[in-house]
Each structure stands twice: as C-alpha cells, then as structure tokens.
A and B are shown apart, each in its own frame.
Chain A
C-alpha cells in the first residue's frame, strides 16, 4: 500500500508505518514512555525528512499517550498535581530546547549532539534501572542485597515551597519537579522525543514517587507537552504531516491498549528490567554507530546552512 505523504513529499508503504506505530504504541502502554525515542530514529531510517519526523512523531505521541492516560485514569494511577508541576517546567524547557536545536542546526552538529544525548542518557538510565530492578528481584527471592530506602529525607526535602502530592504520597518542595520537568523538556525538544524515558526514571529515583503512579503521571504530562510541541511545529515550521501521523496512530493506539493491559499483569520489577534492557539496546546501537566508519560520509541538507 504505497501512499504519498502531502507534507513530507515522499512515498512510503502504509503497512510499514502502521506496524511501526503498533510497536511503539506497545512500548508506550507498557512502560509509560511516549515511544518518541524509538519512532523518531525509525522514521529517519525509512526516509522521512528529519524535521517532519520530529514534528509528526510528537503528534503520534499525543494519540498513543492519550490512549494510555485514559487507561491509567480509570485505574486512578495519575497524580494530576505532580503532572501539572512537571508540565509547567516542561513548557519552559521545551521552548528553550527548540531554540538550542535551531542553533545546533546552523552549526551542522544536530546529528552528533542528538546521538550523544541518546547514548549518554539511555546508557545512564538503562544501567541505573537494570541495577535497581535486578537488586529488587534478588531481594524478593531472599538473596543478599543492600536495601535501598526510598522516600528517605534527603537534601531535596529541605527546599522551600513544599506541596502535598496526595496521589504520590509525597510532601516535597515544588522546585525539584519543576527542574526535572524543564530538564526533560529541553532534552525532549533537542532529541525530538516526549522525554518519557528520562521522565520515568527521574520520577522514581529523583523524586521518589511510587512506581504505581509514575507511568500514568508521566503519560499525562507527555500527552500535554507533545500537544504543545505539535502546535509549535505546525505553526512555526509547517512540518506536521497529518497523513503520516494517522498511519502511525492507527497502529499506535491499538498497541498502547495492548501494552497497558499487559503492563497490569506483569510485576513492576520485571517491567523495569524489560525497559532497562530495551534502553540499553538502543544505547548500544547508537554508540556503536558513532565510532564505526559510516557507509556514507556525505549528506545533503536542504537550504544554505
């Protein structure tokens, strides 16, 4: 099923895109990530121009995350208050990130910075999650393991502006979530992703939120931040391809539902090990590409940069 995309001006196979959306949707429902960190590079790979891949990826993330959020709202596992604070930071960070992205594009180093960001963050997060969840499973099986205490009172809890986050069972300053939100917003805009794969571990390990509400809250904030990004791209650079988005969405929403239901049946530690392995896999592939001599040394970019 060959389809001509009106904005991207390329011809693609419709079934490939639906399948792509399905896989990414599954990730979204399962792990509470938007799936942007998978879909954006995959779209580059099938020949969609990068600017359009980034913008349309954001649009597809809205659909799959929204579908996931609804499932989590039903189970009352969304901390709206925390989501709102993260979002406030996210909007500021996202706008700053778009500015940095344009600057890097002028310097011709977007690819490198994006790839380095992926390698560094995916590597760090993947290793952290794997370590923690393997430890937790060993502990559950009675093996000797150092007990890591969560919700402990550290320096973060002495900051001013404390807020009650009832759904998360936290009473902490609003400043750490704001910073986390802004930081994820910057990275998200530069890397062309929703930022869930950074947000989820940050919520667990930095803010000390219980895993139960993390995924729903992350999806909630990703949905709204991606909607904001989609609008920005559509208005500022006309790079949202709705035809491409619909194909990805059709696969994505179905995948997200399957993922959310599958996630409810799996244990939290197993889920985190799976995600850690996935994150490390993508990281390894990208790191490998950086050091390996590319097949094609030359590339063409439109316009005079």
Chain B
C-alpha cells in the first residue's frame, strides 16, 4: 500500500489539516483491519510513521499572558497494513533544562534547618506527558528509560558528589513540588487516537512559563516498544513591553536600574504633590 497521507505543513491551519487527515482516515483503517485478520501477528520491522503538526510552534508571552493551549495533531502513515495489537501515542512537551538543588529541613536544637541536599545536573522547567492510556500500561520500563518519557525519567543525572544515602525522597519531593506548581503534569488518556490512525493532543501551557526553546515529542508505541518518534520545536518568548524590559534589564543594566529609580522617585513625588493639593482644597 502506498504512502497515502501527505506530510502536513505546520503552517497549515489546524482545522484545515485536521479535515484533510480526517478524510483519509475514513478509508484507511477499514483496509487495515480487514487485512490484519488474515495475517499472523508480526513483530517484525513495522513501517508505521508519524506525520504530525502543531497548532502553533511559538508561544508569545504578553503582559496579560495567562497560558496557552497547543494542539498537537497528526496521523500514522503505513506502508503495510496495521498489525494487530494496541497502538498508543505519547506526546511530551518539555521546557528548557536547568540545574537545581533540592534541600531537606531537619530538626536541629529544636529549630527546623536545611540540612541535606541533592544536586541535579539538569531538570526541565516544564514537562507534560500526554498519553492515550495510563503510561505504565503502554511502555516497558526499559523503553521508558531509553526514551526518557515518564516524569521521573525527565529529571536527569545528579551533579557533584552525593552526600545522602537515599536520593529517592529528594527526587520524589522535587517532582511533587513541580507538579503542585503546575509545571510537571501527566495527562493519562489526554491523547485521542481515532481508528488507530488519527491522533490529537491538547497540551495546556500554564501562565508561569519561562522563556526558551521548548520541544514537543511524539512517540508511537506498539507492544510496549517505541516504533517511531517525531520532534518539533516550540519557541516560547516574551513580546512587546515584556521583551523590551527583559532585554534592557539584561543588556543595559545601569540604564535599567536608573529607569527603575526614576519611576520610583517620580511616583513618590507625584503622590506627595497630589496629596498636598488635595489637602489645600
């Protein structure tokens, strides 16, 4: 069977692209299903590929930015009929990675003090995993470790010498704190997969995003094994006034500092004058 689905340009409006794939999807899975019944289940080289697009590949942070939804959609193209067995799609969106230190408080002389700490070389600022089914039912542990899909896997290696015997409570606390802040999220079942061919995930980006290059990953999983991956960058950047202030603070700090002071002094003076005028009346 020839490759039926054309590559969708990311620039294509999502509604249009979705309609295009939908039209094809109506014919595709029926063919696939009728033939798969005659074939033995073959775990051989599966020629299934992801063809995907993003609703938009940039997020603009304006002054009144309160989050953004990115729709990641696509289809699975096949050169051979779809094999039997469950097919799953995992979508992961990851923010820029940074080093962090996790500290734990302990009671010393009756007072709660930071004592032990664990340093992590690189952990993403933002990480969302969306799946078609609960992720532990989709991926084997080895595949998860290899592709670094689940949230604990996204938190990378420790940095420096370890000073605590058990790091597990630290990394668990880290993931929990980030989840509470809405920065790490596991959306089991948030990817819809229609007829083993069309998928769509609505990824919610929270308001407290930081600037940087984000990446979206789509993984196609069959029988616990990743059979294809697809990556696309998402650029998150400040625009307008936000960008201007941010650049000025970094590029011309003395000027920025003076501007901050002038605003403060002018505000103080204005209030003083305004109140004196009010009182005289």
Known: A11-B208, A230-B261, A240-B249. A301 touches B100 (CB 8 A): yes
Tell me the minimal C-beta distance from B250 to chain A in angstroms. 6
Interface string of B166-185 (1 = CB under 8 A from A): 00011001100110000000
A62 touches B254 (CB 8 A): no
With contacts A231-B257, A249-B263, A302-B100 taken as known, whether A109 is within 8 angstroms of B268 at the C-beta atoms is: no
Min CB distance B253 to A, Å, is 5
* B113 in contact (CB, < 8 A): yes
* Interface check A148, CB cutoff 8 A: no
> Which residues, 65 to 80 on B, are CB-close (under 8 Å) to A?
65-66
CA distance A71 to B89 in the complex (A): 66
Range, interface on chain B = 35 or more
Would you call A253 and B270 a contact (CB within 8 A)?
A: yes
Q: Which residues of B contact A294 (CB under 8 A)?
A: 105, 112
A interface, how many residues as a size bin?
Answer: 35 or more
A67 touches B117 (CB 8 A): no
- 9-residue interface stretch from A1-9, A139-147, A198-206: A1-9
CB-based closest 7 A-B pairs: A234-B257, A253-B271, A66-B268, A298-B173, A67-B268, A63-B264, A11-B207
30 contacts between A and B (CB under 8 A): A2-B207, A4-B65, A6-B249, A9-B211, A63-B263, A63-B265, A64-B268, A67-B267, A68-B268, A69-B268, A70-B272, A108-B114, A227-B264, A230-B264, A231-B254, A231-B258, A233-B257, A234-B249, A235-B257, A238-B253, A245-B264, A246-B263, A249-B267, A254-B271, A298-B177, A299-B114, A300-B174, A301-B100, A303-B99, A304-B159
Please list the residues of chain B having a beta carbon within 8 angstroms of any beta carbon in chain A: 61-66, 98-107, 110-114, 117, 119, 121, 159-160, 169-170, 173-174, 177-178, 207-211, 238, 241-243, 245-246, 249-250, 253-254, 256-261, 263-265, 267-272, 274-276, 279
